[in-house]
Amino acid sequence: MAHDDYLTDAQLADQLHVTTRTTMRWRRDGSGPSYLRVGVRRVLYRQADVESWLANRRFAHRSAEATAA
């Protein structure tokens, strides 16, 4: 397990062009990628989990997105 396989909360937010407040909301709602809680305040995301989460959010057109919801 390489340290490079994990993203911090700030790195994930930067990679996805969202705020850390958004990633916090995703964790609260259960709508974001899987994460690891390491200590009280530290959250890590496996790069593979983020890529899988993103792949599951890929749609060919708007009606496919509406059908999935």
Please, which pLDDT band fits residue 16 given cuts at 50, 70 and 90? very high
The per-residue pLDDT for 2 is: 61
Domains of the chain: 3-68 (1.10.10.10)
pLDDT exceeds 60 at position 1: no
pLDDT exceeds 80 at position 53: yes
Task: Evaluate whether 32 touches 53 at the Cβ level (below 8 Å).
Answer: yes
Q: What helix, strand, coil percent values describe the chain, rounded to 5?
A: 55, 15, 30
CA angle 64, 68, 19 (to 5 degrees): 100
